[in-house]
Structure 1
Amino acid sequence: MLRDLADADWPRRAGLAALTAALGAEKIRWVGGAVRDGLLGVPVHDVDCATPLMPAEVIDLCTKAGIRTVPTGIEHGTITAILKDGPVEITTLRRDVATDGRRATIAFARDWAQDAARRDFTINALYAHPETLAITDYFGGLDDLVARRVRFIGDARQRIAEDHLRILRYYRFQARFGAELDAVAENACAELAHTLKGLSRERIAAELLALLGLPDPHPTVERMRSNSVLGVILPEACKAQLAALARLISAENAQGFAADPVRRLAALLPPSPDVAETVAARLRLSKAQRNRLVSAAERTASDSEKTQALAYRLTTPLAIDRLLLLGADATSIASWPVPAFPLKGGAIVARGVTAGPSVARILQAVEARWVAEGFPDSARIDALLAEELAKPAA
């Protein structure tokens, strides 16, 4: 059963009331994720607004009302209103003129139904009146929400042909909201999986990571593999790696760790640094994401033997990645304050060692023993240093 939007908190935001007053209640509708999530009782963060007003009119009316705007996507009809309780994207009603699977040429429209018809799924084409909160549903989205069914608007194959990324969006939305599979959508995604090759790597990476960040994407990713979709975007993910993903999700849940998309991507790859490098480059991942993938790929069974030493050597986040991927206990280091090695080179020079390579060698030797002994106190460090200094020079 769906919730009444009147029971949700987000429609009562003061900034939305100010925006409604500025543009006119009959000239705007809340649309998309906020409406969908509000009806499902899911927390709402971002609110989007549709309007028949032209972008210049939106800017003018907001300016007169003292609302600052930013032309974030003005070429596509989108203006962002900067409100105290969060920004709102205001987009002029649109219709597609031409599409090539990667981008669309649009024209502004005056008809709400035309705007709804260009959206991807029925559950994303629900419009709410800003004052009455009455829902306008052109394509049966409310029934699909009740059934937890993700269904394309119109012909599924045509909608995918317009934008190939809709294949991945379908799986992401199905993993998040779906219960009842839509056979037409499933078949269309499988049939047109090859078209994903024409998309930018950045768009694919963004959708893949968004999917992997959901509570339990494993069944959906498994279906993507069986439908030959996963093989197009991540051919390294064999059946064994799907099992590794399932084990990782189980370990995260059992140990109380939040879902992490990069860690889960690492589970889908064989433990090979070269493969991790290749995938990171292909998906245009950030340097930080690449470093995490490579570190995770370097995991060995011995990593689980001395977890604090691992956290000291790698940093806690990288150590947690490896331990969870190995199915080992990572809770002991989750809130462990990684100590700083207190011995400095100056203290060794003060003991009569000439500054240079000898100081670095002794420093490294003491640090290695300190870590191996479980980070003992300063008295033990002094003893370790004395032992190293007593050794004959190499």
Structure 2
Amino acid sequence: MTKRLEAEWMARADLAALVAALGRENVRYVGGAVRDSLLGAPVKDIDMATVLHPEEIMRRLDVAAIRKVPTGIKHGTVTAVLPGGPVEITTLRHDVSTDGRRATVAFASDWREDAARRDFTINALYADTLTGEVFDWFGGLADLDARRVRFIGDAAQRIREDHLRILRYFRFQARFGAQPADKQAEEACHNLAATLKGLSRERVGMETMNLLGLPDPAPTVARMEELGVLREILPEADVPALARLVASEKAQGIAPDPLRRLAALVPQQPGLAEQVTARFRLSGAQRKRLSLAAARTDDMPSARELAYRLGRKEALDRLLLAGADTSPLTGWDIPLFPVKGGQIVARGVSAGPQVAATLRKVEDCWIAAGFPSDPATIDAMLDKELGS
């Protein structure tokens, strides 16, 4: 029985115009949009595969006055910029050579050949742009029904072609997979885990963060540790701490945050956080936040004081990592300290270090009093500090 894709996004007028420009016989929907629609999940990105070469794609888009961006022209990808969102259009390909980090590809004309070079069966599903007929050469539909993440062909060979597929496997397992997991896939990931060391830090960091951003990556990360994969990318990981953080987030209705999850895995050592930041090539802002989380102690001030001194996101990190209550921050705006140095000078204190020291003491009192805003209370604090 033919499986047909039925999704609201397929009725978009801008997609119909794109299909008309390229020729319905030349294009099919592919990948995540097909997979997620079949699962009834939200669709973020729409991709098309085509027998047309990039130059012809661009020519036809020009004729139809559809804006285009040659995002990956060497690899056959052109992005059509549509009112409803961009669509990546990629020429059918087959691998000429691979070295585990990058592939040399050639354009192809056979749909099955293009599908065969993809990683997992559930990602190798194509759909007719009009009828929604699904084309499945490798059992992806059955794997979707079984919630099974399975490599196309020999798992070890697919990983040797691109070592990042090890991390992609665990990300897809965390998102789509059920238990028991595919034995061949896990065995190949275990045997080839050391190949991850040959990948760029950026690729490993990005894929790791994508995994940690999923609703509950903790069981999958624990399995990565059991299979010897986690030690290749994060040997210092505190895996039980991740499970505790996820439970705390769920209990308090806090959205997942991949950097906070990474902070849970990194032991409470700022120096170690710096090493992880460099290893994953994180940004300066991410480095600062990770280091602040790693500097946490068991003796923690109130939620609002944390937010005032560190920032809201950083306070949430520390509170959730400790399993503490975050509700005092709900609907609370971090106030500005209402006292300026000029007010201290006006009361007879000479400009200089004493003004700064006095401000710090008054600020501490103001925080301890719960951030009062009325002038009378603040004046009283100044009087007390200055002995007026």
TM bracket (short chain): over 0.9
Whether the 8 Å contact between 2:3 and 2:133 is mirrored in structure 1 is no
**1:137 counterpart residue number:** 136
| Contact persistence 1:126–1:141 (CA under 8 A) | yes
Counterpart of 2:362? 366
RMSD: 1.3
- The CA distance in 1 between the partners of 2:330 and 2:4, in whole Å, is 40
Give the aligned residue type for 2:17.
Answer: A
Q: Where do 1:1-394 residues align within 5 Å?
A: 5-6=5-6, 8-180=7-179, 181-237=181-237, 241-303=238-300, 305-377=301-373, 378-390=375-387
Please state how far the C-alpha of 1:298 moved relative to its aligned partner: 1.0
1:302-350 C-alpha deviation (Å, 9 max, x unpaired): 22x4111111111111011001000111121133111110111122222
Structure 1 CA distance, aligned partners of 2:362 and 2:81? 56
Contact 1:55 1:78 in 2 (8 A): yes
CA distance in 2, matches of 1:306, 1:122: 50
Deviation at 1:262, TM superposition (A): 0.7
Asked whether the 8 Å contact 2:277–2:287 carries over to 1, the reply is yes
Q: How many residues align?
A: 385
Contact 2:164 2:196 in 1 (8 A): yes
Give the letter for the 2:363 counterpart.
Answer: E
Check conservation: 1:25, 1:130, Cα contact below 8 A: yes
Cα displacement (A) at 1:359: 1.6
Counterpart contact for 2:71–2:78, Cα < 8 Å: yes
The structural deviation recorded for 1:3 is: 9.0
- Secondary structure at 1:70's aligned position in 2? strand
Q: Following the alignment from structure 1 to structure 2, what is the Cα–Cα distance between the partners of residues 379 and 314?
A: 27
- What's the offset of the Cα at 1:193? 0.3
Q: Distance in 1 between matches of 2:194 and 2:316?
A: 36
Q: CA deviation digits over 1:194-239, x for unaligned, max 9? A: 00000011111111111111111111111100000000000011xx
Q: Secondary structure at the match of 1:102?
A: coil
Per the TM alignment, residue 301 of structure 1 is displaced from its structure 2 partner at its CA by 1.8
1:354 Cα shift?
2.4
Q: Kindly, what percent of the aligned residue pairs are identical?
A: 63
Stretches of structure 1 lacking an aligned partner (at least 5 in a row):
none
Q: For the Cα contact (< 8 Å) 1:3–1:38, is it kept in 2?
A: no
Kindly provide the amino acid, as one letter, of the partner of residue 276 in structure 2: V
Corresponding letter in the other structure for 1:311: A
* Conserved? CA contact 1:316–1:334, under 8 Å: no
Paired amino acid for 2:380: A
Question: Contact (CA 8 Å) 2:5, 2:134: kept in 1 or not?
Answer: no
- Pair 1:127–1:138, CA change in 2 (3 A): same
**Does the residue aligned with 2:70 lie in a helix, a strand or coil?**
strand
Q: CA deviation at 1:288?
A: 1.5
Q: For residues 94-127 of structure 1, what are the alpha-carbon distances to aligned partners after superposition, in whole Å with 9 as ceiling and x for unaligned?
A: 1100100000001111111111111000000000
Letter in 1 for 2:383: A
CA contact (8 A) 2:148 2:182 kept: yes
Shift of 1:4: 5.2
